[in-house]
Each structure stands twice: as C-alpha cells, then as structure tokens.
Amino acid sequence: MAWAIGHGVLHPAAAHEAALLRLTRLAVDEQESLERTFQHATRLIAQTLNVERVGIWLFDDPPTVLRCACLYEQSTDSHTAGATLRRADVPQYAAALAEHRAIAADDARSDPLTRELLETYLLPLGITSMLDAPLLRHGEVVGVVCHEHVGPPRTWTERERRFAASVADIVALVMEQAAYIEAQRTVDRQAHQLEEEGRMAAVGRVAAAVGHDFNNLLTIVLSRVQQILGVLDLPPEAAEHAKVVLEAVRRSRELTRQLAELGRGAPGTVAPLVVDGVLDASRDLLRSLPQGGQRIEVDLAADQAAVRIDRVRLEQLLMNLVTNALQATGPGATVRVRTSVVDGTWLVLQVADEGTGIDDAVRARIFEPYFTTRSTGGCGLGLAIVHAIVQRTEGFIAVDTALGRGTTVTAHLPIATT
C-alpha cells in the first residue's frame, strides 16, 4: 500500500517519516493557537494513515471526563470539538491508556479494551477499528490521540502502531509548548499588574502628601474668611465675593480630602459586609442619578457573599463607577450594574455602559489622579479613588473597552472567609 504526499507517491515508511517531520514543525506561538495546531495535526495524520477520523481527546481536571478538543473527519474535511466520555463509563479503556504505548484494536467492537465504547460511540459512528495512543505529561495520562477507521475491520501494522505512538509524543510536546507560552503570558500579565499597582501606589502617596499639606493651608484660609465674614460689616458686593471665596475653599478642601483617600494604606480589621444587601438598598439612589434620560439596570446575583469593606467605601466605589458610566453615555442608553461570584473566591461588581468607549492610550491612564477626558465638570479623581478602594481590599480591577462598543469596569473583591 502507498500513500500520496504532495505530487508524488511514497512508501508507507517514508510517508510516516515525512508526516512526523511536518508534525514536529507545527508550533504554537503568538499567532498560531493550540486549537489551530490541533486542526493541522489531525488533518495531516488522517491523510497519512488514510483513516476517516482522527481526534485529540483531553481529560478534564480532575480526570473524570474525557473531552474532545479536536476531531477531524476526512470525508467532509471538517473539524468539530466538544464531545465527552465519562471515565466511569469506560474504566477498562481508561486503564488501558495508562498501560499501553498504543491500543491497536483491529476489531474495536469485540476487543476487550475498547468494547465498552460499542453502544455509545462505535456503532452510532460506524467505527470498526481503533488505534489510540495516550498523551503523557510528566508521566501522567492527560488525553489520547484516536485514529478511527470506518468500514471493514482493519489490521493495524506494527509500523502504524509506532507511528501512532510517535504522533502522541509530538502532540504532547506541542501541548507542553502551549502550556509554557500561557504560563509566560500569565507571568507577564502579573508583572505588568504589579508594576501598574506600584506606580499607582506611588502616585497615591504623592497625592496624599500634597493633599495633606494643602489641606493645612486651606484650613487657615477657611478660618480667616469665616472670621472676616463674622466680624466685618462688608458692603454687599464685597460680602458676595467673600462668600464665593469661602465656597471655593470648601470645595478645595473636599478635593484635598479625596487626594488623601488615594494614599491611605490597607484598613485595619473590617467586619464582612454583604455587598448585595448594600447595593439593593441603593437602588432608589442609583435610579435618581441619571440626568440625561439614561436607564440603570441592577442585577444582583452574589447573594450573601461578603467582602471586608466598610459601607461608606463600598457606596463610594459604586457611585463613582455609575457616575462615570452615566457621563459616558447619551440619552436612552442603559448602564448595567451586576454582581456575581467567581470560583467561590471573588465577588465581582461590574458596571457596563453603552458609551463610545475609549482607545488604548486613554485606557492606560484612566486611573491616574486628575486625568480626565471631560472638558468641564470632572476633576479626574473618581476612578483613581475606585482603584485605591479596590486595591485596599486586596482585589483587582479590569477595564474592557474599545472605541464604538462601550466600557465595562469589573472590580474583583475577595470574599471574606470568616
């Protein structure tokens, strides 16, 4: 029997060697995903062995379910994924994967290692012969590469068995490469996050120090203005000017107070607070915030999950996020406030708007104090304070945005364990 490769015909041994060489050159990188690499590999393997179906199946963690990551069917030249097999339903087959370099079932419907698959898998799909090789990582079976023949039963040669085992080794190496790339991406993201948090902490300390000094000076100014208004009988025009100065000083003190908020360290012991309870009590206040015909929708799904945060800070976090979202939207738009629980570890507070979104350059600076894109009415402290509050809970915050599709700000707050 011969295999066609390219424009010529090769002996089976040469065809296998050529296919293995091409498989080793498949790589996972920034441009090529593991899914696409699996698709290239399964098509090449099916054509080389001339089998109808080649699938890569992976065990979930814990390994109770075998899930199809990629299945190629040669007759339709198509890929699918997502089918599952419960390990408990195929115990002999699962055990055999750990004991054999390759499971070569010439008659898969009667072979003791594969006949468990008869009713649920082999008969419905017309599979008569199987050649399966386990995927090993660090000595553990993490999956299997399945070569499935449709038609009269097929006898697998020793060369084909060795080829299947070599294919599984190469696929396992590709998976290892993908795992390394993902781990490196995670390290890079964490390093960037730590760098960003360090920068924001430094900015917050400087802002707090400046706010403290200015507050002292403003206290003196406020005291003197109040004394002037209290003891002097000023002409109406002068008294009006003095009141304007007094109001300006008061507003300036509020800004310095907000600056000081950025530099505060982690709070002492704070009693756990049920977030949904506070947000539910704030519904009426939230609905009163829109001034441009917007709507606010509130969907609370965190139930009794509690976070170590005081009520004032939580309300400040919520109001700043909602206010910022409202300012980004036009009449008739909807701002959505949602809560949820992720992995039993994080309480997620999400505020999404339907505004114009922001570009990457602006996104990189939105948590900086006094950075704002508004020409009037904004001091640029709202999101900086949001960032500081979330960081103080030992949580983190993410922004999903792009020009033309709105912005979603998601705060992850650690759920109190006691």
On whether both 153 and 272 belong to a single domain, the answer is: no
Rounded CA separation 81/70 (Å): 5
Q: What are phi and psi of 241, to 5 degrees?
A: -60, -40
On whether both 149 and 43 belong to a single domain, the answer is: yes
Q: Is residue 221 part of a domain?
A: no
170: CATH: 3.30.450.40
Q: What is the pLDDT of residue 370?
A: 60
Final residue before a domain boundary, out of 184, 204, 221: 184
Q: What is the pLDDT of residue 6?
A: 43
Q: Is residue 201 part of a domain?
A: no
Rounded CA separation 163/76 (Å): 24
Q: What is the pLDDT of residue 104?
A: 95
Q: What are phi and psi of 3, to 5 degrees?
A: -120, 140
Q: Is residue 87 part of a domain?
A: yes
Rg of the chain over all Cα atoms, to the nearest angstrom? 32
Q: Is residue 357 part of a domain?
A: yes
Q: What is the pLDDT of residue 373?
A: 62
Contacts of 259 (CB under 8 A, 6+ apart): 207, 208, 210, 211, 214, 369, 381
387: CATH: 3.30.565.10
Q: What is the pLDDT of residue 408?
A: 93
Final residue before a domain boundary, out of 184, 203, 222: 184
Final residue before a domain boundary, out of 184, 216, 237: 184
How far is residue 144 CA from its own chain's centroid? 28
- In the chain, which residues have pLDDT < 50? 1-8, 31, 375-376
Sign of CA dihedral 242, 243, 249, 253: positive
Q: What is the pLDDT of residue 391?
A: 83
Q: Is residue 245 part of a domain?
A: no
Q: What is the pLDDT of residue 282?
A: 86
Q: What is the pLDDT of residue 258?
A: 63
Q: Is residue 192 part of a domain?
A: no
Contact 70, 39 (CB under 8 A): yes
On whether both 16 and 165 belong to a single domain, the answer is: yes
Q: How many domains does the chain have?
A: 2
On whether both 278 and 167 belong to a single domain, the answer is: no
Q: Is residue 61 part of a domain?
A: yes
User: Domain of 38?
Assistant: 3-184
Q: Where are the alpha helices (DSSP H) in 30-157?
A: 34-49, 91-99, 123-125
Q: What are the tens digits of pLDDT across the range 328-340?
A: 888 889 999 999 9
